[in-house]
Amino acid sequence: MTVPERQATLDANHVEERRKGSFARMLRNPLGLGALVLLTAVVMLGLLEPVLSAHDPNFSSLTAVNTPPFSPDYLLGADQYGRDIWSRSLVAINVSVISGLLGAGVAVSIGTVFGLISGYVAKRTDAALSWLFNLVMTFPALILVMILYPITGGDYKIMMGVFGIFISAGIFRLVRNLVLGVRNELYVDAARVAGLSNVRILSRHVLYAVRGPIIIASAFLAVASIGIQAGLAFLGLGSSQLPSFGLMAGAAFLNIYQHPIQMLWPSLFLAVMTGALVMLANAYRDSLAAPNAVPKKPRTHTVVPPIEETGATDSAASIDGNQDQARSKGNLLTVRNLRVEYPQADGTYRSVVKGVSLDVNLGEVVGVVGESGSGKTQTAFSILGLLPRQARVSADLLEIAGEPISAQDDRTLRRMRGSALAYIPQEPMSNLDPSFTVGSQLIEPLTAGMSKKEARATILALLARVGIPDPLRTFKSYPHQISGGMAQRVLIAGAVSSRPKLLIADEPTTALDVTVQAEILDLLRDLQGEFGMGVLLVTHNFGVVADLCNRVVVMKDGEMVESGDVRSIFHAPSKEYTQQLIAAILDENTTRSDPPAAAPSALNKEHAR
Amino acid sequence: MSNPLLKVSDLRLRYPGTGFRTASPEVLRGVSIEITPGETLGVVGESGSGKTTLGRAVLGLARPTGGTIKFDGRDITHMNPRERRPLARDIQVIFQDPYTSLNPSLQIADILTEPLIAQGTSSQAARNSVRQLLDSVGLPANAAQRYPKEFSGGQRQRIAIARAVALKPRLIVCDEPVSALDLTTQSRVLDLLIDLQRQTGVAYLFITHDLSVVRHISHRVTVMYQGELVETGQTPEVTTNPQHEYTRSLLLASPTADPDRQAERRAARRLLRLANS
Amino acid sequence: MFSFMIRRLGHGVVLILIVTAITFFLTYGAGIPVATNILGKNATPEAIAKLEAQLGLDLPMGQQYLNWLINAVQGDLGRSYFSNEPVVDAMATRLPVTLSIVFVAAALMLILSTILGVASAARPGILDNILQFISVITFIFPTLILGLGMVFLFAVSLKWVPAVGYTDLSDSPTRWFAGVILPAIVLAIGGIAALAAQIRGSMIDELEKDYIRTLRSRGVPERSLLLKHALRNAASPAFTTFSLQFIGMFGAALFAEKIFALPGYGTYGYQATVTGDLPALLGASLFGILIVVVVNLLVDLANGWLNPKARLT
């Protein structure tokens, strides 16, 4: 029902990776291996029941009533009717195993088939099937099984089959949502363009992606089925002649004041079976996620102070020198030897920023350019103190607006972020909280220093200033109600609302259309002049650099390649890498001039049909 | 000029609305284009202009509500999937995002042989052609047994190109194929596309938002705005002497990588805006 | 919003018709000899026929259902075949018992799992491990076993609370609570781990989103990021899970009622099922679905309040 579905949905993201050998990987996990051994052992006990059984499971011996466990002939003792608990347990194992297989099997078959159809065909079929399964889902399965009890005649196999039908809604939803996700993947479109039939697309691309979560969910469904069967038998719904753990627990419950030990055996067997299944499912999930499980793990034990001052003693002289120099120039931002590292799976650290030094002067726009993986964004975020928790940041010197930021001092940075330091992100939409109005999230940081009314007036004025036509309407809108260009203006208004001295913009126009980009660039230039801000602009777009920047820093693989005045970088780059970058800019003055290729070879195709 | 390979006439498309009464706006409002064999037609437009939808309609992934699409003289506007299947030999696709256009759980060899096998090539013959395909896009042969996540964005896009050319199609719809790539990678992939075109005579319907990319690869350009074509012509004419106002504003809006010329362009744009207001 | 509520209520009416019809026809189709059950095996055929006519059992199946429906709309759910108690009265005495334990359990679940989930998302480490441990434990021990274990521990061994029995809230709030708390814990405990895990997962997802970083860059305090922004966005999926668990608890309440010998709604339905007491069974189903419909409506309203995008539909 809900739990397996949730479990499996959470894992769906991890399952995309090829899971060749994921079973083998699961067995290398001691927990997984242990669970599998335990489960196999219990199932074997059930299968060998005819051999291992000491008595007829329903045979009552008056002399054996309430025999304590570990007596000769009665390994686990006998119950209040003198029946051998060991023999009854063996039969009950089989009942539980069959219940689990039936419940999970029925649910998985129905849910998967209809989920695949619903998700892939979509449209009306999906609407109808979703409605039906939602209906099934909103009603407690247990109560329906009870209502149907007269029909099933108390046969636990039929009851479990019925139960399977009712819990199939969970699997249906899981599969359907996964398929809907996969269906819109471009590789499915590519397969369609390649002429694959629907059946082949479903089996090759879709089922492949969803089978991991289904396997995990079915383990949880089996657990639920075993539990429900035991529960029904405990209530007395079912044959009193067929020993099951529920029935045994019911009998022991009546006897709980006299011989509580009898309660132990059915509980123990049930716990071992369901526990082994749950652990097996968890181990399988871990093995599926293994290739990319690394990033999440470090969360659990690393709390690293944002900035670590390193080399404070051995290079003190040179830093002091730098510092003096920096101050005399009236630097807004001074960074010396900044490094950012991330922990790896094997315990080592991978550095993404390797000793970057840069300065931003008052009223100056400095561009940081580089290709993906150059560490330019990491540099910007480390200055803002916005890197993920597990990142390890260090610097010989980091000074913002004359204030040094150091190891114990997360608070300074936090205070700065509300005042001297501001940030403009790349993606306008994802950077607004979807649940709050634009206005409420803009005034929140301001209310610490002024009344709500003042903050509101300030923001409304700013919204007008950044070129929003109807500020009040935008103020009251939710993020999804405004366009991307408007959202970026809102974010800019938010950034400058604290009257910052230093603005750090991370690809502020990359997600926008060219015409909007031009307007935003104009706005940024105007605001920069108006507020006299220093700007650190991270971008990969040389056009944006040419438009806004006074100075440029070129980065590659976490290192600084060169820095200099914007004209000298464009016209006379000194480093080979910068020259390559500049050369790769598509020339505006030449257009393609060769005529369309004649196409002889394409008309008579060579390959066999 | 020879007969058009692809001829789209007055194409209209409206996505089905979500409810009964809510009619969604028309995405394509009477679009007509022609592509001759071996030619690149660049389609430039901003987000929401309908350029991607045009490509998807040609590929049969979106259902036109009016107009016709003719390929090599045959009407392919409303073909059902079964009729359409053989067309995969002639029309292929390269998508923008090289991260989601390759199934992460398949080996490169499986990805490349998929279209071949779907069109009836024996699996052995398809396997044999993998090496040559990888070679043609400049990837080493040992890439075949690896998975997409082991490759960089540019390399993945090369794989996507190899998959598209595997069937030696006559038309490839390129939907922003270099937009997600770094600058240096971008120019190399564009050069690869041009080389392949010269070798095989394939035609490209090249969809992009980037004017500099269009200049580089297109013989002819058409500019799309809100579901309509505003201007079509030879690349040099459209990109240096645009007739339509929208094209002009588009040209002035895209920043050029030279501080002094960009300052001029900025001034020109201000003037244009003042003139309009 | 209003038309949305009307539509949901319409769905609810359809649901009620479908489920009561299924209940009716299946129970009827099972051919339980109701009259024989009431009068005993030795009753004469004439007496049985007379009783069947009296109960309306001789009418065609469809007619019987229709009669029940017409009466039901007028607030008359008939009388139990066996106790002759009006079903409405029985519901009035039985439902509060079940609702007591289910609501206490739901409150426990909501409060504890929110605290656990938020805390373990905010401060990963020991809390995270505890949560994992609890979730495995609660999976290993199904509600049934857990309930029995708790009766044994708290009532039999430690004698902290009465093992069985229910006192009405209006009679004695403390005794009501003492009687209700154990079954409520039993019901809640499995859900707490699952819901906390769900909240933890959504919270971690939200905390890694861009807007949190941007708000942080503006100096919004961490507590507000966590409790105002992330939690509100994480709440919507959690609510859906919670509603399904809430409905599931009505089923599981039956076990708790049985173990703790509470005269609740579940036991009533169970008795009716076993004996083929059709009016009682239909009444029980009707109230069951009513509760389901109301819960779903409340959850939709809550989601609409939480999520501005959902408000448009």
- For residue C26, the chain A residues in CB contact (below 8 A) are 147-148, 150-151
Residues A420-456: pLDDT tens digits? Answer: 899 999 989 999 999 999 999 999 999 888 899 999 9
d(CA C220, CA A449): 12
Is the pLDDT at A20 greater than 80, yes or no?
Answer: no
A441 contacts C156? CB cut-off 8 A: no
Candidates B80, B97, B105: best to mutate against A (most CBs of A within 10 A) is B105
Q: What is the pLDDT of residue C120?
A: 85
Element (H, E) at A436: none
d(CA B87, CA C28): 59
Annotate C40-109 with DSSP letters as a single string: -TT--HHHHHHHHHHHTTTS-HHHHHHHHHHHHHTT---B-TTT--BHHHHHHHHHHHHHHHHHHHHHHH
- For residue A480, the chain C residues in CB contact (below 8 A) are 308-309
- B218 close to A (CB below 8 A): yes
Question: Which one-letter amino acid corresponds to residue A459?
Answer: I
- B180 close to A (CB below 8 A): no
Candidates A126, A586, A604, A605: best to mutate against B (most CBs of B within 10 A) is A586
A590 contacts B215? CB cut-off 8 A: yes
C139 contacts A223? CB cut-off 8 A: yes
**Could you state, in order of their start, the residue ranges of all structural domains in chain B?**
1-90+169-239, 104-167
Query: What's the average model confidence in pLDDT over C171-196?
Result: 84
The residue that leads in pLDDT, A175 or C22, is A175
Is the pLDDT at C310 greater than 70, yes or no?
Answer: no
Give the pairing of strands A403-404 and A397-400.
antiparallel
d(CA A362, CA A286): 51
Contacts of A532 (CB under 8 A, 6+ apart): A362, A363
Q: Extract the tokens encoding C266.
A: 């579940």
A432 contacts C244? CB cut-off 8 A: no
Residue C19: C-alpha distances to residues A144, C14, C98 (Å) = 9, 9, 21
Kindly report the CATH number that applies to the domain delimited by B1-90+169-239. 3.40.50.300
- Which C residues 195-214 touch A at CB under 8 Å? 197-198, 201, 208-211, 213-214
A513 contacts B200? CB cut-off 8 A: no
Nearest CA in chain C to A267: C145
Residues C225-247: pLDDT tens digits? Answer: 999 999 999 988 888 888 888 88
d(CA C298, CA B40): 57
Question: Which one-letter amino acid corresponds to residue B158?
Answer: R
Rg, chain C, Cα only: 24
- The average confidence (pLDDT) of chain C is 82
Spans of chain B, pLDDT less than 70: 1-2, 17-23
Phi and psi at residue B80, to the nearest 5°: -85, 165
Query: What's the average model confidence in pLDDT over C303-310?
Result: 76
Query: What's the average model confidence in pLDDT over A253-259?
Result: 82
C217 contacts A423? CB cut-off 8 A: yes
Partner-chain residue, chosen from B93, B201, B257, that has the shortest CB–CB distance to A598: B201
- B114 close to A (CB below 8 A): yes
Lowest average pLDDT, out of A76-85, A197-206, C1-10, C54-63, goes to: C1-10
Q: What is the pLDDT of residue B224?
A: 96
- Which A residues 346-405 touch C at CB under 8 Å? 384, 386, 388
Q: Extract the tokens encoding C24.
A: 């009716």
A595 contacts B219? CB cut-off 8 A: yes
The residue that leads in pLDDT, C91 or A296, is C91
- C25 close to A (CB below 8 A): no
Is the pLDDT at A12 greater than 60, yes or no?
Answer: no
Candidates C140, C164, C192: best to mutate against A (most CBs of A within 10 A) is C140
CB B243 within 8 A of CB B250: no
User: Position of tokens 């409905």?
Assistant: C247
d(CA B168, CA B172): 10
d(CA C286, CA B141): 68
- For residue B76, the chain A residues in CB contact (below 8 A) are none
Lowest average pLDDT, out of A251-260, A350-359, C154-163, goes to: C154-163
CB A562 within 8 A of CB A554: yes
Whether domain A3-55+75-289 has CATH 1.10.3720.10: yes
Nearest CA in chain C to A448: C220
Query: What's the average model confidence in pLDDT over C82-97?
Result: 89
- For residue A514, the chain B residues in CB contact (below 8 A) are 46, 209, 211, 250, 253-254
Helix intervals (H) in A301-447: 316-328, 376-384, 410-417, 438-443
Q: What is the pLDDT of residue C54?
A: 78
- B226 close to A (CB below 8 A): no
d(CA C108, CA A118): 37
CB A395 within 8 A of CB A307: yes
Give the pairing of strands B6-14 and B220-225.
unpaired
- The average confidence (pLDDT) of chain A is 82
Lowest average pLDDT, out of A54-68, A322-336, A584-598, C137-151, goes to: A322-336
CB B114 within 8 A of CB B97: no
Element (H, E) at C312: none
Element (H, E) at A397: strand A397-400
- A135 close to C (CB below 8 A): yes
Q: Extract the tokens encoding C251.
A: 């089923």
pLDDT band at A10 (very low <50, low <70, confident <90, very high): very low
- B44 close to A (CB below 8 A): no
Q: What is the pLDDT of residue C212?
A: 94
Q: Extract the tokens encoding C52.
A: 């069947």
Nearest CA in chain A to B92: A193
Is the pLDDT at A605 greater than 80, yes or no?
Answer: no
Partner-chain residue, chosen from A518, A521, A570, that has the shortest CB–CB distance to B257: A570
Q: What is the pLDDT of residue B272?
A: 84
Residues C60-74: pLDDT tens digits? Answer: 878 888 888 898 888
- A268 close to C (CB below 8 A): no
pLDDT band at A8 (very low <50, low <70, confident <90, very high): very low
d(CA B77, CA B84): 10
Question: Which one-letter amino acid corresponds to residue A289?
Answer: A
What ipTM does the predicted assembly reach? Answer: 0.90
Query: What's the average model confidence in pLDDT over A53-76?
Result: 87
Partner-chain residue, chosen from A205, A371, A595, that has the shortest CB–CB distance to B183: A371
A147 contacts C26? CB cut-off 8 A: yes
